[in-house]
Chain A
Amino acid sequence: MTSVLYDTPGPRAKRRNVIFSVVFFVLLALFLWWIWKTMDDKGQLKWDLWEPFTTSQAWTTYLLPGLANTLKAAAISMVIALPLGAFFGIARLSDHRWVRGAASTVVEFFRSIPVLLLMLFANEFYVRSTDIGSEERPLYAVVTGLVLYNASVLAEIVRAGILSLPKGQSEAAMAVGLRKGQTMTNILLPQAVTAMLPAIVSQLVVIVKDTALGGVMLGFTELLNSRSTLAANYANVIPSFIVVAVIFIIVNFILTSFASWLEGRLRRSKKGTGVVLGEDAVEINPAAVGGGFGTGGEGGGPSGFTFTDKPPR
């Protein structure tokens, strides 16, 4: 048995576990039967409603363009947010108090505001102050909201990464005569980013999920929005939700698997490449450094206000 909470079950415990299993199975089966029956009663199980997903039309007209927009918004946001986040993360570690203060204010401000408010605001701002066409505007607004929010989260990830490096790294750099900027760009940042890569990839999941907000509130034609057009066309509310949820799960599952593969790889090659972090530092995940503030809502790790603490083990 792997758990410390219970021993390898003896005869009595085995019997009890079987009883629990049976009771739980019955409850679960009743629940699933209720779902099945209600769907049947409401005609949501009819083949007509599921058939569109076996034809190419539903995919090429609705789902794939929606998915493409979702991924496009997520990719653009990530590409802009990453350098911005690195910039603010480094600025928060500056030796000059006013740079530190300004960067901290910006980061803390955008981190404590819901991403939806940022998107709504950006949308209205673009309506009033720019001549971005109404076709393109939702994408711009979604990307703006996501960039502002996620750059501040990434800033914390980068900051935590740099802080987790052994002090000797910058001391050695100083000893061989590198300037502050050189130390940061040549020594600290590459190591921090390598170590933080899994956390950064995980942040992508949050971004992908948050694009759905733009679909409902701003009319951005991402996957969830395409779903409603599709459901209006085929009158298949439940099937369309299930298919869209499955697509999101698959995309995010691929991203999470990639992140954990990357983490395992970095952990294994710790001696080989430039990653010199100790055991504790590698465990820092996006949640631990405040990724939990997003619509992603990741929990875990220490309080968002003490980023340098070790995550609980």
Chain B
Amino acid sequence: MFDFLEGYDVLGAFWMTVKLTALSALGSLVLGTLLAAMRVSPVPLMRGFGTAYVNIVRNIPLTVIIVFASLGLADIFGVTMGAPDDFKVQGFRLAVLGLAGYHAAFVCEALRSGINTVPPGQAEAARAIGLSFSQVLRLIVLPQAFRSVIGPLANVLIALTKNTTVAAAIGVAEAAYLMKEMIENEAQTIAIGAVFAFGFVVLTLPTGLLLGWLSKRLAVKR
């Protein structure tokens, strides 16, 4: 029944999806944390930059960002991501760059809402014993904020997993790319659709359940 799968590297395509997700998640977490720190910092210029970044990036479709990474950044700006000759590697890295840059805005917003969950009294107490802004943020606020935003971050991660399909727009051979190729060549449209749908359910459902459980367990009880 599933003999149409022969000749196609479905697992390889999903592995590409997983790699895209993992690297972009890491990138967006780092960038998003930086942006969140900027948005709550005492330096007005940094605050302004953080706010502008989030509001601009959030309103541009991810597809536009990814296609721009390929046509604009690589072709015009010469950003080759360390792989000027290998277009496959270059496409992959550009996709990671685009995905990380886009989702960093959402990570930043999630973290910022987490920072708001920390009672002001704690930050006041921390300041009263003489901790500096970066110490308050590092030792008191961010650890608690991270624990309370596992849920929202799980949402971002799941959205990111599904958004990796947009990388197909610049020819990264992940799941959506392979599915497009397969349903054009093979007759079993519905079976192919079911296989790929199942793949994404397998990827996103455990993530959501695991992180949902984790967020309940780790939430700071107040």
The answer to whether A and B belong to the same complex is yes
In the complex, how many angstroms separate the beta carbon of A174 from the nearest chain B beta carbon?
32
Whether B63 lies near A297 (C-beta < 8 A) is no
- Which residues does chain A contribute within 8 Å of B158, judged by CB atoms? 112, 292-293, 304
C-alpha spacing A299/B153, complex, angstroms: 7
C-alpha spacing A216/B137, complex, angstroms: 42
Interface residues of A in 256-310 (CB under 8 A from B): 256, 287, 290, 292-306, 309
In the complex, how many angstroms separate the beta carbon of B206 from the nearest chain A beta carbon?
11
Partner of B168, one of A116, A208, A244, A292: A116
- Which residues does chain B contribute within 8 Å of A303, judged by CB atoms? 150-152, 154-155, 208, 211-212, 215
A186 at the interface (CB under 8 A from B): no
Interface residues of B in 25-48 (CB under 8 A from A): 40-46
- Which residues does chain B contribute within 8 Å of A109, judged by CB atoms? 197, 201
B92 at the interface (CB under 8 A from A): no
**A-B pairs with CB below 8 Å: how many?**
233
Known: A117-B196, A238-B76, A290-B155. A5 touches B212 (CB 8 A): no
- Which residues does chain A contribute within 8 Å of B78, judged by CB atoms? 38
C-alpha spacing A304/B210, complex, angstroms: 12
- Which residues does chain A contribute within 8 Å of B77, judged by CB atoms? 35, 38-39, 42
Interface residues of A in 164-184 (CB under 8 A from B): none
Known: A3-B40, A24-B43, A117-B196. A297 touches B62 (CB 8 A): yes
In the complex, how many angstroms separate the beta carbon of B73 from the nearest chain A beta carbon?
10
Interface residues of B in 132-154 (CB under 8 A from A): 133, 136-137, 141, 148-154
Known: A21-B43, A209-B61, A292-B159. A121 touches B166 (CB 8 A): no
- Which residues does chain A contribute within 8 Å of B196, judged by CB atoms? 117
C-alpha spacing A7/B180, complex, angstroms: 56
In the complex, how many angstroms separate the beta carbon of B34 from the nearest chain A beta carbon?
12
- Which residues does chain A contribute within 8 Å of B156, judged by CB atoms? 292, 297, 299
Partner of A305, one of B42, B72, B75, B208: B208
Whether B184 lies near A212 (C-beta < 8 A) is no
- Which residues does chain B contribute within 8 Å of A21, judged by CB atoms? 43-46
Whether A116 lies near B152 (C-beta < 8 A) is no
Partner of B159, one of A124, A213, A256, A297: A297
B4 at the interface (CB under 8 A from A): no
Partner of B176, one of A42, A114, A128: A114
Partner of A4, one of B56, B124, B151, B180: B124
Whether A294 lies near B159 (C-beta < 8 A) is yes
- Which residues does chain A contribute within 8 Å of B184, judged by CB atoms? 124
Whether B40 lies near A205 (C-beta < 8 A) is no
Interface size on B, residues (CB 8 A): 83
- Which residues does chain B contribute within 8 Å of A237, judged by CB atoms? 71-72, 75-76
Interface residues of A in 15-35 (CB under 8 A from B): 17, 20-21, 24-25, 28, 35
Q: Which residue of A lies closest to B160 (CB)?
A: A297
Whether A112 lies near B153 (C-beta < 8 A) is no
Whether A6 lies near B176 (C-beta < 8 A) is no
B113 at the interface (CB under 8 A from A): yes
In the complex, how many angstroms separate the beta carbon of B61 from the nearest chain A beta carbon?
4
In the complex, how many angstroms separate the beta carbon of B220 from the nearest chain A beta carbon?
10
Which 5 pairs from chain A and chain B are nearest by CB?
A: A303-B151, A292-B155, A297-B159, A299-B106, A252-B59
**Contacts from A to B (Cβ < 8 Å):** 1, 3-7, 9, 13, 17, 20-21, 24-25, 28, 35, 38-39, 42, 44, 109, 112-117, 120-121, 124-125, 128, 205, 208-213, 215-217, 224, 237-238, 241, 244-245, 248-249, 252-253, 256, 287, 290, 292-306, 309, 311-313
**Can you add 14 more A-B contacts, CB < 8 Å, to A5-B141, A212-B63, A299-B159?**
A5-B115, A6-B133, A6-B136, A114-B162, A114-B163, A114-B200, A117-B176, A210-B61, A217-B168, A241-B72, A295-B159, A298-B159, A301-B155, A304-B154
